[in-house]
Each structure stands twice: as structure tokens, then as C-alpha cells.
Structure 1
Amino acid sequence: MQLRSFMSSKIHKATITEANLDYVGSITIDADLLDLAGLLPNEKVLVVSNTSGARLETYIIEGKRGTGYIGINGAASHLIGPGEEVIIIAFTLATEPVKPKAILVDSNNRYVCDLTEEQAAFAPETA
């Protein structure tokens, strides 16, 4: 049995609201956004900055609901700072492709739409 890594969840175009060097580490994400994207506390994620190109792996800490808060903590705050636009991606190991959950947020980290459904509408038709 061969396991492959597939994208399972994504928050697209999120904005970092705070960076805290003195925190132990991780990324804190509004609990509502976690629910919408199908992400869980302590889950490993790849954070990619659309602003600087920086990429890092860390784990999720659940933040306060309804705040739009997305904070980079610890050493990661040297790579990505407040105001940067990021993509937060989780992966899963599976033998077959999985149906990912991807959401788009605005500059205040408020839910805009489900990209999984939007992408399906624009997918090229195959014969």
C-alpha cells in the first residue's frame, strides 16, 4: 500500500493579524475559520506568504471565535508578520485522492466562499 500526501484543507488569502515572538510557537486561528476549513487544533499546516514568499510548517492553536484572528507565534514570526497575506494548507496521507475543503476569506479574515465548490465550477471538462 502506497500512501501519498494530498491537500485536505486550505484557508486562502488570509491576513496575519499579529506576530508574537515570545509565544512558544505555532499559528493561532479563529475557531470559526477552523470549522469552515475542516482544520483541527494541533494539526500540522504549511503556511505560505503571498507577500514575501516565505514558507513554514507549524501546528494550529484554536483562537477565539468570531474574531478573524490569525497570529503567527514564536520563531515563525521572523518569517511572516502582521498584514501579510497567507495561504494555510493541511495535508493528509491516503491511498487515493481526498476531497479537500478550501475556503476564501477577505482581508479581515471573514468567510467569502467555499473554493472547493467554486473550483469545481471552473474545472475543465474531460472527455
Structure 2
Amino acid sequence: MLIQILKSKLHRLRITETNLNYIGSISIDEDLMDASNLIEGEKVQVVNNNNGERLETYVIKGKRGSGMVCLNGAAARKGQPGDIIIVISYALMDFEEAKQFKPTVVFF
């Protein structure tokens, strides 16, 4: 049996910009991606603490060291710069493997 569990989380991250006229996704500073064990193209859930919006999208690499967290395309309508968000990814694992797995969580 496979179950879905928390894999990675960027907790209380701030949106730095939005770009409505870009192909959808969320751009995240590559350093933040590395710290949270996220890869480009990975599906994530984005939860906006300021307005309660939730969305699913995928990660695009942002400029390393920039601190960039940018909602792109339609996602840009779900938040604004300064909003606090949580970026979450999940993984499918065998039940026994999942019991031993430790997610990567980065707090801001």
C-alpha cells in the first residue's frame, strides 16, 4: 500500500513578487529549493496565510541567492508581495517506508 505524506515544506515564506503575464507556476530562489529538498517541476501546494487561498502548481527555479518567491500566471491572483505562504510537497511511499521518513521543513 502507498500513502501520501509530507515530503518538504517552506513554512511562513513571504511572496516577493507576482507576475500575471508569465506561464503559470511559482518561482523560488534555488537556495530555498535546495534547503527544502524541492526540485524544478515538482508539484506543490501553496497556502496563503493572509487570505486563505490554496492552489496547486509546480516549482520553477528562481535566481540563486535572490530570495525570490514569485507567483506566476493565474497564481498571481492568489496573493500579493508581502503575503505569508506555506509551500508544501508530498510524496507517495510504501506504508512501512513512510513510518521512517523524515520530511524537510524550513521555517522563516
Q: TM-score normalised to the size of structure 1? A: 0.80
Q: How many Å separate the matches in 1 of 2:39 and 2:14?
A: 19
Q: How many Å separate the matches in 1 of 2:49 and 2:2?
A: 29
Q: How many Å separate the matches in 1 of 2:77 and 2:66?
A: 24
2:35 is the counterpart of 1:36: yes
- Counterpart position of 1:95: 94
Greater relative contact order structure (CA < 8 Å, 6+ sep): 2
Is there any run of 5+ residues in structure 1 with no aligned partner, and where? 106-127
Cα deviation code 1:8-44 (max 9, x no counterpart): 0000010000011000100000000000000100000
- Counterpart position of 2:4: 5
- Number of matched residues? 104
Amino acid at match of 2:26: I
Q: Which has the higher strand share?
A: 2
Is there any run of 5+ residues in structure 2 with no aligned partner, and where? none
Deviation at 1:83, TM superposition (A): 1.1
Q: Which residue, 99, 104, 107 being the options, matches 1:104? A: 107
Q: How many Å separate the matches in 1 of 2:14 and 2:54?
A: 15
Shift >6 Å, 4+ stretches = none
Work out which of the two has the higher radius of gyration on C-alpha atoms and give 1 or 2.
Answer: 1
- Secondary structure at 1:35 match in 2: helix
Q: How many Å separate the matches in 1 of 2:57 and 2:81?
A: 17
- Secondary structure at 1:67 match in 2: coil
Deviation at 1:60, TM superposition (A): 0.2
- Counterpart position of 1:82: 81
Sequence identity of aligned pairs in percent? 46
Amino acid at match of 1:45: V
Over the residues paired in the alignment, what is the CA RMSD in angstroms? 0.7
Q: TM-score normalised to the size of structure 2? A: 0.93
Amino acid at match of 2:53: A
